[in-house]
Structure 1
């Protein structure tokens, strides 16, 4: 068994046929068939059943492919890393964030950071909080911003912000006339809910249940910014933190405080097996500055004490 045979096997599996695999690898179809036969001989079992001229993966072939695919994902990461080193040298930084901050605080932080380090290339990815954690732990990302429902085991972490939840709604909504929104106000109201695993939603549900209030959930989404976009379109009322509403207020979105107070909590995540480099420390400083710079506009949020 050699790498070329595995490469051809991988190409057949992802393309679905020997002919398309041959096109992908720029070899002849007989060369693909020969490599598959040689691989089967080397490992001692069949990878494909030959059905009417088609290659249909066997159960054993599917099992082997799961491991081969993982290996090729690792190779793809190595190729991407090599490309970054080739294009940018060693001065790179990889950052991942949940969407609420990825569309607001992170762009400001990147600008502040690049004002000091214009030579540093940044890889920036927006993802769900659980995916942010995986990118930090397994994907080589130096910094992550994730909501508090994320599994914090196996990562270094610190509180980045604690933002008070507010109700968001379209202009002209009946609740917009109220200075403060309370649980009873949401009873029976069309409501845009965050995903069930979101801790802020769980905290809100506890408050609503205690008051006997039952909003009419019409849409569920994992992103606070999407809650704001849907509310602005008149889909319903939602719960968000003020930072996620940036850009929507200017377009008419109405924010009202919610009482009793419910909070969103966000964590900074770091890989536990590496010391923080000077670049990472500088980017954290830029993040904190960007967070604080947005604070006057986000009057419903508070920052943690250190």
Structure 2
């Protein structure tokens, strides 16, 4: 049994006669009849009843035709996938993103990307930076947006964006009356902090030490969004990326500038030794557009 025999069988069922099938396939009618006979010998059962010179699918032929249609649907999908790969390099885009940018920068970039590539399937997973790094390094994901504390060995890493830190305060907190908040203003405050390995937290702790202020950390979390949620509930104060705080502004949370200036630094990472596809380059371009 070969693909040409299957194609002829499908054409006969679909068009009703060998003559019409031969016309569609641009082969002779005897060639169609011969391929049907060869197919039946291979299958071991008749696929057509021959009634007054016409072919009608047998019960077995009808069952076989259903399987053939499923197979041809798969072939159609393969052709579409091949076309996408030819035009774009891939029909899918897999993104791993740190939480702080997964609800703002990434969606805005994807909005632009979808306008240009509405048929590209996108997977976006919010992960810690270290997990995102491993997913990209192993080739499971095409690109990652991560914090700069990760190990960059074995990946293609390049600077992405820096975001100046702000202090998140409950909306009824006395420090909301200040235009700028400094470490000495936070003495004795309940502090909600990022994980110890976070470089922004480390720089913040260094600033507090220089001011001879001891932080009173009550909650640790790897996610800026969690800090914002906790602050909005009045559980403490915390240093956050202002972009992360956007959904909470006016909903229990207020931002104030923090000095000395601290920054969240992020990287764009990709698998090593793999040239980016056209769609990946387009997505990276959209990412850059939304942060400019």
Task: Give TM-score, length-normalised by structure 1.
Answer: 0.66
Q: Secondary structure at the match of 2:165?
A: strand
| In structure 1, distance between residues paired with 2:152 and 2:246 | 28
After TM superposition, give the deviation of residue 252 of structure 1 in Å.
Answer: 4.0
Q: Is the CA contact 2:233–2:252 (under 8 Å) kept in the aligned structure 1?
A: no
Q: Is the CA contact 1:186–1:214 (under 8 Å) kept in the aligned structure 2?
A: no
After TM superposition, give the deviation of residue 251 of structure 1 in Å.
Answer: 2.1
Who is 1:132 aligned against?
132
| In structure 2, distance between residues paired with 1:140 and 1:164 | 31
Who is 2:175 aligned against?
175
User: What is the aligned-residue RMSD (CA, Å)?
Assistant: 1.8
Q: Is the CA contact 1:166–1:256 (under 8 Å) kept in the aligned structure 2?
A: yes
| In structure 2, distance between residues paired with 1:117 and 1:236 | 43
- Does the alignment pair 1:275 with 2:275? yes
Who is 1:144 aligned against?
144
Who is 1:74 aligned against?
none
- Does the alignment pair 1:242 with 2:251? no
Greater C-alpha Rg: 2
| In structure 2, distance between residues paired with 1:182 and 1:139 | 43
Q: Secondary structure at the match of 2:284?
A: helix
Q: Secondary structure at the match of 1:111?
A: helix
- Does the alignment pair 1:121 with 2:148? no
Who is 1:220 aligned against?
220
Count of residue pairs the alignment pairs up? 209
Who is 1:96 aligned against?
96
After TM superposition, give the deviation of residue 139 of structure 1 in Å.
Answer: 4.2
Task: Give TM-score, length-normalised by structure 2.
Answer: 0.69
Q: Secondary structure at the match of 2:247?
A: coil
| In structure 1, distance between residues paired with 2:198 and 2:226 | 14
| In structure 1, distance between residues paired with 2:147 and 2:213 | 26
After TM superposition, give the deviation of residue 215 of structure 1 in Å.
Answer: 2.3
Q: Secondary structure at the match of 1:169?
A: strand
Q: Secondary structure at the match of 2:240?
A: strand
Q: 5+ unaligned residues in a row in structure 2: which ranges?
A: 1-73, 82-89
Summarize the alignment of residues 154-173 of structure 1 with structure 2, pairs less than 5 Å apart. 154-173=154-173
Who is 1:262 aligned against?
262
Moved over 4 A (4+): none
Q: 5+ unaligned residues in a row in structure 1: which ranges?
A: 1-81, 293-306
Q: Is the CA contact 2:194–2:201 (under 8 Å) kept in the aligned structure 1?
A: yes
Q: Is the CA contact 1:224–1:244 (under 8 Å) kept in the aligned structure 2?
A: yes
| In structure 2, distance between residues paired with 1:114 and 1:162 | 25
